[in-house]
Each structure stands twice: as C-alpha cells, then as structure tokens.
Amino acid sequence: MSTVDKQLEDVKATIDEEVPRRISVSDVTYEGPELVIYTRDPKEFAANSDLVRRLASKLRKRITVRPDPDVLAPPSEAESAIRELIPEEAGVMDLNFHTDTGEVVIQAQKPGVVIGRRGATLREITQEVGWTPEVVRTPPIESSTVDNVRNFLKQEREDRRDILERVGRQIHREPMSDDEYVRITTLGSCREVGRAAFILSTPDTRILIDCGNKPGANGEKPYLDIPEAFGAGTNGIDAVVLTHAHLDHSALVPLLFEYGYDGPIYCTEPTRDLMGLLTLDHLDTAADDGRTPPYDSEMVREAIKHTIPLEYGDVTDIAPDIKLTLHNAGHILGSSVCHFHVGDGLYNVAFSGDIHYDDTRLFDGAVNDFPRVETLVLESTYGGRNDYQTDQEDSERKLKQIIQNAYDRDGKVLIPTFAVGRSQELMLVLEEAMRNGDIPEMPVHLDGMIWEATAVHTTYPEYLRDGLQDRIFDEDENPFLADQFNPIDGGDEERQEIADGDSSIILSTSGMLTGGPAMSWLEQLGPDPDSTLTFVGYQAQGTLGKRIQRGIDEVPVGGSGRSETVPLEMNVETVDGFSGHADRQGLENFVKTMNPRPEKILCVHGDESATQDLSSSLYHDQNIRTFAPENLETFRFR
Amino acid sequence: MSTVDKQLEDVKATIDEEVPRRISVSDVTYEGPELVIYTRDPKEFAANSDLVRRLASKLRKRITVRPDPDVLAPPSEAESAIRELIPEEAGVMDLNFHTDTGEVVIQAQKPGVVIGRRGATLREITQEVGWTPEVVRTPPIESSTVDNVRNFLKQEREDRRDILERVGRQIHREPMSDDEYVRITTLGSCREVGRAAFILSTPDTRILIDCGNKPGANGEKPYLDIPEAFGAGTNGIDAVVLTHAHLDHSALVPLLFEYGYDGPIYCTEPTRDLMGLLTLDHLDTAADDGRTPPYDSEMVREAIKHTIPLEYGDVTDIAPDIKLTLHNAGHILGSSVCHFHVGDGLYNVAFSGDIHYDDTRLFDGAVNDFPRVETLVLESTYGGRNDYQTDQEDSERKLKQIIQNAYDRDGKVLIPTFAVGRSQELMLVLEEAMRNGDIPEMPVHLDGMIWEATAVHTTYPEYLRDGLQDRIFDEDENPFLADQFNPIDGGDEERQEIADGDSSIILSTSGMLTGGPAMSWLEQLGPDPDSTLTFVGYQAQGTLGKRIQRGIDEVPVGGSGRSETVPLEMNVETVDGFSGHADRQGLENFVKTMNPRPEKILCVHGDESATQDLSSSLYHDQNIRTFAPENLETFRFR
Ligand SMILES: [Zn+2]
Ligand SMILES: [Zn+2]
Ligand SMILES: [Zn+2]
Ligand SMILES: [Zn+2]
Ligand SMILES: [Zn+2]
C-alpha cells in the first residue's frame, strides 16, 4: 500500500470515530487540496452543519462532502424543488446537474440570494434533494472569456477529476528527506521588469511562482532550462503559483504544458480567466506580427484545465510541506500577494507579485498583514530614488486638462493601456468626469480586449471595492455600462472613421506600444499635431513606449515584417499617478507598516537602479537585510 | 552524422592539409581531452618533431599520435632495441607493450634519463621501433598503493579506452544553448570545515568540484541531492574535478559512482593515488568502528578507472565551453588550485582548494599567478581575525622542546596527523633535528597509512621541492629512509610494547582524533602524565581533537559501540606552525600578491566566524567584493 493510501486509511478511521453511526461514510479520497467524503446520507450531513467544521479542524484539511450517486433525487425532480427553494429575486438562469460528483451548478444573477444567510439556503437544498449546490454568477456584462472557460471546464469534468485526484495524492504524499532548508532561485525579473519567475524549494518540494515574458524583448524567456526549474524534465516541479494575469507574469505558463508539465496552477478565479484572455490575445498578436507564437492555443486550455482556483485568505496545502494563502495585492483584478508557510512553523515567505499600496477606485490597497513572514520578495517597479508619483487627484486633474486641450483643438487623446486594470480605472475616472461635467461628453473607444476585460471584472465583483460592487449590481448605475463607452468591433475601417471624426478618447492595448491595435492608432494619429498620446503606465526598457518618452520623432508602423515609419507629430504626455504599481513611497509604506516586520527582503521586478535604490534605502531606513538579486541566483533561508 | 563526427571530419581535413603526403593519417578520434591521430608512419611523425606541435597549435587541441598496430616491430624485437637505446643508469625495470594503442610503458628508476634532453630518446625509440613510449617511475620506496593502481589500470585498459572515447565525445560536443552565464552553487564547506563540494555551471555544462565528508560529523554529506547536483540523476554532471586527496574533499567521490555517475574525474596523478589510499582506509575505519561504510571498495576502483590525470600547467578542455588548468597549491602532494576558463574569454574562476602560501620543507608555496581570474573561491580555515600562526622556525623550536621534555621524563610524544602532508613535513623536521643533534635520537613510529603515504611521495618527486627531489633520488640521502622511522606493522601488540618501552615519538592518524590507530594510542598513553599529546594541525568543530584542546579530562576509547573512557592525564600541547593551511597572514598575502587581482572572492572552508572575518577584512583592506556564502546558495557571474 502506498503511503498516501495508508494515510487515507488513518483519516477514514478518524472520520468513522467522529461521525455518528447513523450517518454512513462510503469512501474518502483526495481531490487537489481537498479531502472528499462520500456518503449515502448527504441530507444528514447538511443537517449537521457543525460536523464538517469539526472534521476539518480535527483533520486540518479542507473537506467536501459528496453524495453517492444513487441516493440523489432525479435531476428533473430536483430542479423543480431547487427553483422552489430559491427566492425569485436571485435571478436563477440555469441549473447543471453533474451525476459524477452529485453537484448542481446554479447560475444566477445574484449568487448571494441563492446562498442565503451563512449558506442556509444551500443547506436546505441538500437536505431536500441530496445534491450539493455550487453557485456561479451570471455576469452583468456578457463575457465570452468567462463563458468559454465555464463551458470548457464543464466539458472537461472527467479529465479534471483525474488531474485533481493525482494532484491530491501528490500533495498528501509522505515527505522523504531529512534535510531542512528553504531556497529561492531567481529565473527572471531580477534587475529588469518582465519575465517574472521564481522557484521556491525545500528538500521535498519545488514551486514555480509566475512564468512571464518580457515586454518589448525578442522572446526573452525566464531561465526555465536550468536544473532547478525544468532542466531535468517537468517532474520536479510540484506546483505553479500565479500572482496575477499580466503577461510579464503569466505569458509562459501555458508553455510549461508544452514542456510536459502536468501539475496544478494555483491562482484566483479571475486570474485564471484573465490569463486565458491575455495569453490567447498574446498568441493572436504574435501571429498578426508575423512572429511564431510560443505555443499553441491548446496549451492555454491545458493551463485552464490544470488551474485550482483559490480565494483570498484560504490556507491551502499545496505540497506535503507547503501551505499557500493568497491575499489581495490591489494591482489588478484577482492579483495576489502569495504567502507560503513552509514546514510545521519552519519558515514563511511572501511574494508580493505586483502591488498597489493605496486604495484605488477599483481595489483596496495590498494586504501586508500576515501571521508570520521571514522573507519578502518585493516588486520594485517604482523603487528608484525619484520614483515618487503625484497623487491620483492631481493626476486626474492633469489628465482632464489634456483631454480638454485636445478637445479644444478638435484632436483625439490616445491612451495606451494594459487591457486589464488601468483601463477599468480610467473608465471609472472618465465616466465620473463626464457625469460631473468636468470634461465634455465624448466617445471613449475601447480597443483590443479592454471591453472583454471589463466584462470579466463585472463577473467577479467580490474582488472589487465595496462601493463599486454595489454600483455594478445596479444596472442603471453600473459605470461600465455608461453610453459613451464604445468597444471597437469594426476593425481598421471603424478606426479610420474615428480618426477622421470628431474629438474622442481612445483606450487601446498594448500598454507599452509593443504591438496590438495601439499600433494602428499610432499610424492614424501619429502625424496629427492636434491629438495627444498620453502614457499613464510604466514603460519598460526596450519598448516603443519608452523610446517615445525619450523623444524619438518617428515611429515604426505595420508588423515586424515591414520597416515603414510615420512622423510623430502628435503631442506626447505622461500622467504618472494612474499606475497599478505602488510608487516609491507606497513600497516604503508597504514595508514600514508590514506586520510582522520581515527579516529579509529581495527587491525584484524593477530596473537595476530601481532595485538597488530600494534595496539600499530599505536597509538604511528600516534596518532590514535586503538584496537586489540577479537572475539565476539562489538564496538560502533556514 | 552526429555533430561530433561532423566536427571530426573537419579536423581530419585540416590534418590532411598540414601533414605531408608521404605521411599517412589513417584515423582521427577523441580520447578524453586528447585528439588521437592514427598513422601507418609513426617513425615519420617522430622524425618531424615540429609537425605535432604545429597541428596542436592550429587545432588548439592536445594531440597524441598512435601507430596502426600492424606497422609495429614485434614486442620481443622492440624490447631489445629499446633497452639498447636507453642509457644503463636509467635503471629500466620493466617494459609493457600494449598492442591496442601501440604504447610501451617503460618503468625506470630515473625517468628523466629515459626521456633524454627534451624527449630526444623517446623520439629515437619511436623512430626505431614505431612504438610510443610512456615512462613511469619505479618508486624509491615501494608503495602498494601505487602498485595496485598501476596494475588495476593495466588490467582495465579496454574499459578505460571506452570511457575515454565516450568522455572525448562529450567534451567535443557542440554547445547547445544561446544563453551565457557562469554560476557557482555551494553544496558544502560553507561556514564550516568539511564536505567540500561546489557546482560550477554554464548553460551547457556542470562541473562538480570536490566531494568530501565532514570530519567528526555523523556522515553529513554535501547536498548532493539538489537538482543542480544529482537530484535529477547523474547525467547532468559533465566532470568531477578534485583539488586534493584529503577526505574532506575526496571521501565521497567514489559514492558518485554508486549514484550512477559515469564521467571523468580530473586531478593530478598523486591525488588519484592518494584518494585511493585514503578512501579505502576510510572504508576500513568505518568498518572497524562498526559503522556502515558509505560505499563498497569497488566504487573506489571505479573512481580510479574514471580518473584522467593532469599535470600542473596543462590547459585541458573538459567540456565544450570549459578549460581546466591545475596549479600547485602547496598544501599536500598533488594538491591543486583549479583554474577554470569559461567560454571563449567569457569568464575565469579559480578554486583554491586548500592552500599553503609560503614554501614549506615539502612544497613550494601556492601559485597565485593566472592569465585571468575574475572570481576566486578561497579556503578560509585560518581566516579568523586572530588566526596568525607562529612561523615554522619558532614552531620547530617549540616542538623540539616538547620532545626534549617528554624524553627527560621518559615519556612519549603522540602527534595525531593526517597521513598525507603534515606527517611527511614532520618526518623531515625530526630527521633533521636528530641528524643535527637538536634532540636525542629515538624511534619515530609511523602508524596508520603514514608510511604508505610517504612511499607515494617518493613516487612523485616532481611534485616536491627541488632540493628534496634530489635527496630522494640519492638512496643514502633520502630523508624518509632514515633509520629511526618505524612503520607500525605489528598491530596492538607492537603498540603495547612501544607504550611500555623507552621514549619515542609516534605519528598516527587520524589527525583530528576522529578514529584510526591514534585512538589506540590515546587509550595506551592517555593516563600517562609523563607523555605529551601534541596537536600540529587544524582541529575542526565536533572532533575529539577539538574537545581535548578545549580541556576535557577524559576521553572515550574503543569503537563507537563501546562507551568506555580513560582519564586524560598526559600533557596536551598545540604547536601551530605546521599546518598545511595558510594562516590569516598567508591568506591575505595570497590575495594581495595575486595576479591579476580578482573582482570577487567567495570565502569558504572555514568556521562561520573565520569566513566572515576574512570576507570582511579582504573587502575593507583590499576593496574586493567578497562573500561568505552559506551552503545551498547559487552565485551568478556574467
Ligand atoms: Zn502586473
Ligand atoms: Zn509585473
Ligand atoms: Zn586539505
Ligand atoms: Zn580541506
Ligand atoms: Zn564506468
């Protein structure tokens, strides 16, 4: 018998002791991080709401109860009963019965109403029909991304259960080694922005954190081929953890499956969906530019299939000696600070991912309160000694002025942005400014995935700030549904019309002018001295955005195959308060107010000078051991 | 066709161009780092002494010329011709003809005489009989170690040629990666003395430098199981380089073959033989102490079979992108500072191994002059701020006084030493002191491999200082053959007799009282207040030697199974000038006079305080970037 089977027998014995005789336990298995208990008495389990909580705390595991298939009410019968139990105003759209797991997926406009106070309605449902209800939201704005992910996962249910069972056995295997150590190996994003990737390793486990590309570079990948990563095959990596969906963190996650990786990806649900959206768009962009895409779209589906979504705050076993907890990072939808607890109190490491320290219109500021942390791996995008940004109020004033000026000249304002995060923040700013009459009403065109990304935001409002959540649920108040927003769906013809037309604002990807429809807009508007190009986000070394900021006066247009240029006669402005990244002050505050104070900080995800400045100032001002690692180094803790 | 075969075709074409028509080239292959040219005209090659040199410089390879077997004079005929050509005084003992390679191994008492001025006699031999002569020394003191190694290698010639051919193809394979980097991973001997092991890696190559055990510890091995080392199997390691034969550097090299390693070991010839001697003794000691030996003696033979011996100064390709050169380290017989040249001028790293900076009776001081070095990995045994040692003259005076005092009390002097290095140095000191009448003549007993190690020294006099070489060749002057030296060969009975007898000096292994016959001596002499225990070498943390220095007053005796003790009533003295290691001053001088000045220094192979003291003082005094790494870290250079 394998050690996992042996251990499951022990678990089963404990459960048998705890569960009253009259409630049957027919089987116990692992599915991913969860322990699944099969029973012929699902109604009894539901009636004893305390029982599962008691088992979970005794076994120190997350527990799911599943009915044996033959004790369930037939779906047709169950459906009427369920619809009867749920209040009308929940807006139930659809019910999906899965006989393999005894789950019924309820899609509704107001999931909270379906769930009831502390899950009361859900328990009632199980008590009545035996099925285990799972509730998902009907997005207020239809998102093909979310639809596709949900349909795909429905269709792949069986495959997915196999994956989860395998992963579950991996997680709960017996640790083998007598050694004790914790190491971090840097594969990318050290003394540079882009290609984030780190290995967290113990004698028993290796975790890959992020796997991004480098914007504007010629396919520079993280160093995935070294022995600590995938150099000796894909078996050695136990799990991938994704901080957020931006391509400099996620773009090469699907590539791992081409390498043969077959393990889990842990991230939030919105990160999973946005990763799908952005990586598929990334493949399209590559193809449009005549480059060879780094992998097939099939690999994106593999990545989604292998994703185990976690919610903020859930403490989850992801390896025999590692527990992962995600916390809000304030940067984009679903972005996480990833906290790793190693061993039984041995060591704790937090990876900040990208963070925004202060609250924004979209998100609460990043969490920096943990039970324990000895080492922090901290982004340093704006870590340079002068990287203090104006506050958002001033920035908004400046942006509005730029728009007003362009409007007065009959010009347009082109704002290159990431599809995810900054676009939605700007939409909120612009909607409010027009509603208040601060700037004239005019169309705001959204090009290149921005609308789709916005739809994903409305699917997961629990990841947004409270006030915004409420507005999104109210159709008349949903700011993203304001009239002036126009998703571009007519291609270059529509763009031409807009360029020839009246004043308007254009938000378009990519955010650093490394491709995407922003290039078409630049071709159209570049020579127009009445229009204004406005940067609102970080421009990495080597990107066209950076070069324009430095003052070049013509820009290449068309794909990589062509070498045409247009003169750049439009105005160029930078408004720096809208970044999704904490500025220098925010980074300092994040550390200063962090609880507990970390012993060591690795400053990464910033230019050489930014990481070194931040490292040396945190050391001098806050007396913490800091490092500005290079790629390909390994640090040992404990 | 493989890339190696393709490349060999190109090499052959170049050779065909360079070699005159009348000289045939029948085949070209790789054997280890050498390029072997087969010819039907070995005599012509020998007559054109310039030709091989020209080819070597053109191809930038080490070249060996071999005759096709059927063009050779028959061995019996060749033997008489060869004996005729070599002057009588060479003392030729034995000739061994190897038809597979066309080599004849000539064993002689004076190899220099066989070789002739600049190899003239050797060339004459080939011109006359076709065979390629190789000369080995008949040891002035018979060494079973050297005999065993030579016989074993003779018997394994075929296997060995297979190995060399495979290694040769490995070395000359095409590099695969576009990346460029140089990394060092620390597997052991960081902030500790013992279990030396490092990985030097590039995108294409991984080299293991040393693989030792930790004296006095419970089998603490270097971290060989991490992915950078052997975690993913033994395929990833291209070569093992051994700085010297001490067990803290060599003890676990044979274990690698149990792991499945099948590649080459590079070191000097004496290091190979001493590694055989010391590791076999290490296995015996383990068995005697009732411990499970870490591997079978068969693995020691595998290690010897896979060794490719190099001479000081030879620049040798050991991987597609790495050239290795060994230099005298002044520490023990055959000990080397290992210089790695990476890529085509990309980077240079020197590993000091253990070094002695000043000249000693046995050896010249360590070499610190290199074409280029950016990073130095430096031993720090005596790197502590107070680790300045008295000079050898004072030390000798002190030792003589200790001996005189013991003699006056009718006591004995027990000196625990490493079998290799310090023992021979002390023998020279004692022989001279008695010859000069500084101390009374008395027996000097040599226990536990010391005599055998001395015999190995006399086999390789070219590794000793000039004056000493000359004395060794002259039977009447060979200091190691002085009458007072008595190798213990009668076991505990002989030891008992000596302990009960008149004054004498006992040199015995192990040097840190971690086992070996020194334990029997301690049991015999420990309670004798007239005798003196004298430490002359470094005592590592956790060893009995260290505990006695700290003042314990009874010592455990017998194997690990027993728990008896004897009271320690004998005098305990430490004479510190005899160490094989550079003291703090020596380490500082090594760096100060190093040419060129290194950019970075990793201080290793020393206690935590020693490595940190040395690191910080080299930084402050010499303004070099220094580090005191921990085990399991990786540093990136370039
Ligand atoms: Zn980001
Ligand atoms: Zn980022
Ligand atoms: Zn040594
Ligand atoms: Zn050593
Ligand atoms: Zn072999």
Residue located via tokens 């009427």 = A80
DSSP letters along B334-364, please?
T-EEEEEEETTTTEEEEE--S---S--SS-P
Identify the closest residue of chain A to B230 by CA–CA distance.
A227
Given a cut of 80, is residue A627 above it in pLDDT?
A: yes
Give the C-alpha separation, A424 to A442, whole Å. 17
pLDDT at B432: 95
User: What φ, ψ does residue A339 adopt, rounded to 5°?
Assistant: -105, 125
Q: How close B210 comes to chain A (CA, Å)?
A: 20
pLDDT value for A228: 94
- Give the closest residue to A400 by CA, choosing from A481, A495, A505, A548: A505
- The verdict on whether omega for the bond into residue A596 sits within 30 degrees of 0, i.e. cis, is yes
Would you call A409 exposed, middle or buried from its count of C-beta atoms within 10 A (0-12, 13-18, 19+)?
middle
Q: Which amino acid is at A524?
A: Q
Half-sphere exposure of A500 (CA within 13 A, CB side): 6
Residue A568 has pLDDT above 80, yes or no: yes
Tell the burial category of B494 from Cβ atoms under 10 Å away from its Cβ (0-12, 13-18, 19+). middle
b/e per residue B599-631 (b: at least 16 CB within 10 A):
ebbbbbbbbebbbbbbbebbeeeeebebbbbbb
Question: How many Å apart are CA A490 and CA A552, to the nearest integer?
Answer: 31
User: What is the torsion angle, in degrees rounded to the nearest 10, for the CA atoms of residue A347, residue A353, residue A357 and residue A360?
Assistant: -140
- Give pLDDT tens digits for A596-620: 999 999 999 999 999 999 999 999 9
Interface check for A634 against chain B (CB to CB < 8 A): the answer is yes
Between B328 and A90, the more confident residue is: B328
* Of A53 and A412, more confident: A412
- Residue A258 pLDDT grade (very low, low, confident, very high; cuts 50, 70, 90): very high
Q: Which residues of B touch A181 (CB under 8 A)?
A: 632
Tell me what pLDDT residue A540 has: 86
pLDDT score recorded for residue A220: 87
- DSSP labels, A471-492: HHHSTTT-GGG-TTEEE--SHH
How many residues does the structure list for chain B? 638
DSSP-derived secondary structure for B369-418 = B-S--SEEEEE-TT-STT-----HHHHHHHHHHHHHHHHHTT--EEEE--
Q: Tell me, what's the pLDDT at B288?
A: 79
**Strand positions, DSSP E, B42-121:** 62-67, 92-98, 103-108
Which class for B173: exposed (0-12), middle (13-18), buried (19 or more C-beta within 10 A)?
middle
Give the integer Cα–Cα distance in Å for B541 and A217. Answer: 51
Which residue from B203, B238, B629 is spatially nearest to A631, judged by alpha carbons? B203
CA of residue B582 to ligand 4 center, whole Å: 12
CB distance B236–A236 less than 8 Å? no
**DSSP code string of A164-191:** HHHHHHHHTSPP------EEEEEEE-SS
Average of pLDDT values for A90-111?
Answer: 89
Rounded to 10°, the helix B269-288/B144-155 angle is 110
Q: How confident is the model at residue A197 (pLDDT cuts 50, 70, 90)?
A: very high
- For residue A418, which phi and psi values (nearest 5 degrees)? -60, 145
Banded model confidence at residue A632, pLDDT cuts 50, 70, 90: very high
Question: What pLDDT, on the 0 to 100 scale, is given for residue B562?
Answer: 61
pLDDT value of position A558: 65
- How close B320 gets to chain A, by Cα (Å)? 17
The secondary structure of residue B426, as a DSSP letter, is: H
Residue A495 clears pLDDT 70, i.e. is over it: yes
Q: Around Cβ A151, how many Cβ atoms within 10 Å?
A: 10
How many degrees, rounded to 5, is the angle at CA A477 between CA A472 and CA A482? 95
CA of A193 to the centre of ligand 2 (A): 7
Q: Is B478 exposed, middle or buried (0-12, 13-18, 19+ CB in 10 A)?
A: middle
pLDDT range class, residue A562, cuts 50, 70, 90: low
Is the CB of B400 inside 8 Å of chain A's CB atoms? no
Residue of A112 and A609 predicted with greater confidence: A609
Could you say which of A181, A231, A630 has the minimum Cβ distance to residue B632?
A: A181
**pLDDT value of residue B1:** 64
- pLDDT tens digits, one per residue of A421-477: 889 999 999 999 999 999 999 999 999 899 999 999 999 999 999 889 888 877 778
Distance CA B158, CA B329 (A): 33
Q: Do B227 and A223 touch (CB under 8 A)?
A: no
- Terminus-to-terminus CA distance in chain A, angstroms? 34
Give the pLDDT score at B200.
98
pLDDT for the residue B559: 58
Domains for chain A: give ranges and CATH numbers. 3-70 (3.30.300.230), 72-138 (3.30.300.20), 158-386+581-637 (3.60.15.10), 392-578 (3.40.50.10890)
Query: For residue B620, what are the CA distances in angstroms to B616, B623, B625?
Result: 6, 5, 9
pLDDT per position as a tens digit, A292-328? 888 999 999 999 999 999 999 999 999 999 999 999 9
Q: Determine, for residues B636 and A636 on separate chains, whether the beta-carbon distance falls below 8 Å.
A: no
Question: For an interface test with B, which of A207, A218, A636, A637 has the most B Cβ atoms less than 10 Å from its Cβ?
Answer: A636
Q: What per-residue confidence (pLDDT) applies to A32?
A: 94
Return the residue matching tokens 């070049």: A552
Confidence at residue B173, expressed as pLDDT on a 0 to 100 scale? 92
Could you give the count of Cα atoms lying within 13 Å of A361 in the half-sphere of its Cβ?
22
CA distance A326 to A316: 9
Instruction: At A408, give phi and psi (nearest 5°).
Output: -65, -30
User: C-alpha angle with apex B305: B300 to B306, nearest 5 degrees?
Assistant: 100
CA of B260 to the centre of ligand 5 (A): 8
Q: Mean pLDDT per segment of 10 residues, for chain B of length 638 residues?
A: 85 91 91 93 85 90 88 90 92 89 90 89 90 89 93 93 94 88 97 96 96 83 94 89 97 96 97 96 84 92 98 95 97 97 95 96 96 98 92 92 96 94 94 95 95 94 90 84 93 93 95 90 95 92 92 80 83 90 96 97 97 97 96 95
Q: What is the pLDDT of residue B42?
A: 86
pLDDT recorded at residue B219? 75
Stretch A181-208: mean pLDDT: 96
| Interval A7-49: pLDDT, tens | 899 999 999 999 998 899 999 999 999 999 999 988 888 888 7
Rounded-to-integer distance, Cα A401 and Cα A540, Å: 26
* Contact yes or no for B207/B37 (Cβ under 8 A): no
Query: What is the C-alpha to C-alpha distance for residues B184 and B189, in angstroms, rounded to an integer?
Result: 13
Query: How confident is the model at residue A367, as a pLDDT?
Result: 97
Nearest CA-CA distance, residue A61 and chain B, Å: 30
Angle between helices B120-129 and B75-85 (to 10 degrees): 150
Does A331 count as an annotated binding residue?
Answer: yes
